[in-house]
């Protein structure tokens, strides 16, 4: 994937978290604390797995120091 700012190749990697879902939540809204049940205004990026935790694929530009998450990769 190319960086949207500098057009250099981005590094593929992962952001992982232990035993929680990974959800995008709009500013000013509260996160759901019920496992695998996002609120209607949230976007579930990765459901928690009791065995593997949860992680999402992320592309990082080492020059611009930005990260990009493509929802098609979820």
Asked if 51 contacts 62 with a C-beta cutoff of 8 angstroms, the reply is: no
Q: What is the mean pLDDT of residues 2-22?
A: 90
**28/19: higher pLDDT:** 28
> What are the CA-CA distances from residue 71 to residues 28, 43, 46, 53 (Å)?
22, 10, 10, 19
Question: What backbone torsions phi and psi does residue 26 show, to the nearest 5 degrees?
Answer: -60, 150
Q: Does the pLDDT of residue 4 top 80, yes or no?
A: yes
63-72 tens-digit pLDDT: 999 999 998 8
21-30 tens-digit pLDDT: 888 899 999 9
CA distance 29 to 43: 12
Question: What backbone torsions phi and psi does residue 6 show, to the nearest 5 degrees?
Answer: -110, -5
Ranges 21-25, 46-50, 58-62: which has the least confidence: 46-50
């Amino acid at each position: 994937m190319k960086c949207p700012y500098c057009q250099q190749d981005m590094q593929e990697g992962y952001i992982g978290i232990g035993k929680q879902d990974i959800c995008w939540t709009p500013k000013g809204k509260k996160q759901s604390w019920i496992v695998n049940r996002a609120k209607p205004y949230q976007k579930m990026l990765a459901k928690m797995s009791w065995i593997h935790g949860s992680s999402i694929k992320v592309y990082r530009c080492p020059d611009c120091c930005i990260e990009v998450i493509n929802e098609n990769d979820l």
